[in-house]
Amino acid sequence: MKHFIECTFEESPLRNHGFEKLLLEAIDEGLSSLGESSKYAIYFHLKTAFKVSRRDIPYKIEEFADAIEKIFGLGAKPLEILIMQRLYEKVGGDVDYPKNKNLVFTEYVAAVKQSFLKKKKQTSVQRAHV
């Protein structure tokens, strides 16, 4: 079992609290809703069958979404919604996205990332003027 955990939870190069780290935390929490052993099995399956390791998910979000949809079929939508809710909470609930459009998972993640980076840049500019 130790080897299984090591190969699914490699040491992440993301040591700061950047968007990628928050996204991985949201995904971890979403998958944990299925149970810890299920979460480990999903990460293992993502890596072996879909060539998407946990640490690469922020950079391969479309591949991750496709894999989740292949694994869960229609059941992927509630999981994606849960991950989106967790991500929304983690970025402080301030997301700019077209309210009149139903965003798919990957579009929502992109919108949250843009909002997060914009907010981070504004905070950096404000601190520079203080």
- What domains can be seen in the chain, in order of their start residue? 2-128 (1.10.1200.200)
Q: What does the alpha-carbon distance between residue 92 and residue 66 come to, in Å, rounded to a whole number?
A: 27
- Closest by Cα among 66, 54, 46 to 106: 66
Write down the mean pLDDT value for the chain.
Answer: 81
pLDDT of 44 reads 97
Using a cut of 0.75, tell me whether the model's pTM lies above it.
yes
Q: Confidence band (pLDDT; 50, 70, 90) for 57?
A: very high
Residue 29: the pLDDT is 96
In Å, what is the CA distance from 64 to each residue of 41, 44, 111, 117? 15, 13, 17, 22
**What's the CA dihedral at 5, 21, 54, 80 to 10 degrees?**
110
